[in-house]
Amino acid sequence: MLTNDATILKIKHEVLYQVAKLAYAGEFDEKKDELAYKLIPGPKPQFRCCVYKEREIVRQRVRLAEGLCPTESDHSGSKNVIQVIESACADCPLSHYIVTDNCRKCMAKACQQSCKFGAISMGRDRAYIDPDKCKECGMCAKNCPYNAIADLIRPCKKVCPVNAITMDENGICVIDEEKCIRCGQCIHRCPFGAIGSKTDIVAIIKDMLAGKKVVAMFAPAIEGQFGREITMSSIRTACKKIGFADMVEVGLGGDMTAAAEAAEWLEAHEQGKKMTTSCCPAFVNMIRKHYPELADNISTTVSPMCAVSRMLKAKDPGTVTVFVGPCIAKKSEVKDNDIEGNADYVLTIGEFRAMMRAKDVQFEPEENDSQQASVYGKRFGNGGGVTAAVLKSMEETGTDTSGLTVEKCAGAAEVKKALTLMKVGRLQADFVEGMMCEGGCVGGPSQHRSEMKFKKDSDKLIEEADDRGVHENLESVDMEAFAMHRETCIFAENASTLSLNFGFFLQKMRERVATGVRGALFINKTGG
């Protein structure tokens, strides 16, 4: 978890660490109520008005850490993975616009004249905005010649790309679950740490203690997050020390998704249909909730996380799969979408490190001698990484990619622009690669280091990988043992629709090449 406020980070991590420690000891249910007093001993408060409020905030964080809503209020039945810690959300300004000391109480009174709601009056020293009358239109701020009216929009509301955040009558943040796309940006923008996500730490540790085979699946965006010396081998060793049976690179799932999505794109293009990627759950949520007319344009190919989970479960149905990455929305993909064979749990990087600390385990440098994914799968979490992998898959099967256009979108502004153009039929590109985080998954809200800081280390580690192709890397995987599409069963032999089977698509691509059918697929190198 990355934040500009070390204090908030420390509090969040300490709660997760203490929860994990109790869970590993098998004492969580018995001693969880003691954590608030352990972390806030008193008698003097450290951050808030009183120790009682501080303890209540900790208590609500503990509930989140065990996968529950923070309070037993009317929201206790909410399925949203993103939740407001109400006790912590109390210190933001109630008014959106406020008059500053820059106000000269000028004769023109442009602010008062521009307000259509009678919300502005003149006080002794400056203008005054009545929050009960103000409709937050912003005209007063726009017309003030001294820029004396400040826009104090709350950080959480400001960063939300879908306007899902409002305030109740008490000034407490409220998340509209029908609008929320679970991107998680609000979590790490709140300067009071008042928004958090449900975690699976307790459930995962309980499965470990019960003797279940729990396998960690690490996102491609993690490689390089912990420095140049910490390789995937280092991460695998740490995973086993804290109770995981094994660790698998989700970059391998990137190769699977690239091959399946390339085949699906081919079929869609032959039908004259535009298509979007399906890897980013926040992007998928954006389409389904805010651009529902485009829902049929979403690729049916499962995400790399789901692909690896299905592969593991096809080998051993009793396997419990846990995705680890910088993404909050992945929790939504698991909890909300109910895709058969998907990961059982999701951990952020910060949650995983809390488990490491609870077991007194640290990452140790190891040789970079483990490679489960191609370099294209390893870069799947970068902006444009999906496109690069899909193109590579097409080229490996002999498909001409010289003229197909792809719109690559990373970040809310780019995504909304592309989807809006697609909605009105003005999008020129054939396919849209959509990622809600700027820079792609590597810019996820729960990253350990900023993209700028870890990218150099990530590139160095990936450069050491061999140059195997997408399909070459998949030769060791039994792709016929499971389906690669959402609407099909896990196992290919039970798939209800043959055309959604990966093997069928791959065969179709190769047949087109063998029979000389070329030129139907092409990529504009400048556009994609």
- Domain check: are 136 and 170 in the same one? no
Give kind and range of the element (H or E) at residue 266.
helix 251-270
Per-residue model confidence (pLDDT) at position 113: 94
- Domain check: are 137 and 15 in the same one? no
- Domain check: are 280 and 316 in the same one? yes
80/76 Cα distance (integer angstroms): 10
Contact yes or no for 440/389 (Cβ under 8 A) = no
Per-residue model confidence (pLDDT) at position 48: 83
271, pLDDT greater than 50? yes
340/309 Cα distance (integer angstroms): 10
pTM of the prediction? 0.87
Query: Residue range 38-56: average pLDDT?
Result: 89
3-class secondary structure per residue, 340-378: CCCCCEEEEHHHHHHHHHHCCCCCCCCCCCCCCCCHHHH
Residues near 483 by beta carbon (within 8 Å), at least 6 away in sequence = 310, 489, 490, 491, 492, 495, 500, 501, 502
47, pLDDT greater than 90? no
- Domain check: are 132 and 264 in the same one? no
In a domain, 285, yes or no: yes
Give the DSSP letter string of 38-60: HH---SS-SSSS-HHHHHHHHHH
528/418 Cα distance (integer angstroms): 14
- Domain check: are 275 and 403 in the same one? yes
518, pLDDT greater than 50? no
In a domain, 520, yes or no: no
Angle between helices 251-270 and 502-514 (to 10 degrees): 60
Share of the chain above pLDDT 90, in %: 65
Per-residue model confidence (pLDDT) at position 3: 47
3-class secondary structure per residue, 298-334: ECCECCHHHHHHHHHHHHCCCCEEEEEECCCHHHHHH
Contact yes or no for 408/381 (Cβ under 8 A) = no
In a domain, 71, yes or no: yes
Residues found in the chain:
528
pLDDT band of residue 527 (cuts 50, 70, 90) is very low
CATH number, domain of 278, equals 3.40.950.10
Instruction: Determine the 3-state secondary structure of 446 from DSSP.
Output: coil
pLDDT digits (tens, 9 = 90+) for 344-386: 999 999 999 999 999 999 999 999 988 999 999 999 989 899 9
CATH number, domain of 35, equals 3.30.70.20
Query: Residue range 89-104: average pLDDT?
Result: 82
Last residue of a domain, one of 181, 199, 217: 199
Give kind and range of the element (H or E) at residue 196.
strand 195-197
In a domain, 429, yes or no: yes
pLDDT digits (tens, 9 = 90+) for 410-446: 999 999 999 999 999 999 999 999 999 998 898 888 8
486/484 Cα distance (integer angstroms): 7
Which runs of consecutive H residues, i.e. helices, occur in 344-492?
349-358, 375-378, 385-396, 412-423, 451-463, 470-473
Total tally of structural domains belonging to the chain: 3
- Domain check: are 189 and 320 in the same one? no
Closest CA to 218 of 263, 252, 243: 252
pLDDT band of residue 403 (cuts 50, 70, 90) is confident
In a domain, 75, yes or no: yes
- Domain check: are 188 and 247 in the same one? no
- Domain check: are 282 and 168 in the same one? no
- Domain check: are 119 and 77 in the same one? no
In a domain, 524, yes or no: no
- Domain check: are 54 and 162 in the same one? yes
Distance of CA 50 to the CA centre of its chain: 34
CB atoms within 10 A of CB 364: 12
Beta bridge partners of 165: 175
Structural domain that includes position 237: 203-514
- Domain check: are 308 and 387 in the same one? yes
pLDDT band of residue 281 (cuts 50, 70, 90) is very high
In a domain, 64, yes or no: yes
State the average pLDDT for the chain. 88
pLDDT band of residue 526 (cuts 50, 70, 90) is very low
In a domain, 491, yes or no: yes
491, pLDDT greater than 60? no
508, pLDDT greater than 80? no
33, pLDDT greater than 60? yes
The DSSP letter of residue 241 is: H
pLDDT digits (tens, 9 = 90+) for 300-354: 999 999 999 999 999 999 999 999 999 999 999 998 777 899 999 999 999 999 9
pLDDT digits (tens, 9 = 90+) for 194-220: 999 999 999 999 999 999 999 999 999
Contact yes or no for 234/119 (Cβ under 8 A) = no
pLDDT band of residue 167 (cuts 50, 70, 90) is confident
Instruction: Determine the 3-state secondary structure of 89 from DSSP.
Output: coil
Kindly report whether the peptide bond that precedes residue 161 is cis, defined as omega within 30 degrees of 0. no
Closest CA to 196 of 18, 64, 89: 64
- For 124, 258, 416, 524, the CA distances from 278, given in Å and listed in that order, are 58, 11, 16, 21
Contact yes or no for 276/299 (Cβ under 8 A) = yes
248/375 Cα distance (integer angstroms): 15
- Domain check: are 117 and 241 in the same one? no
pLDDT band of residue 495 (cuts 50, 70, 90) is very low
Closest CA to 246 of 275, 273, 218, 220: 218
Per-residue model confidence (pLDDT) at position 389: 95
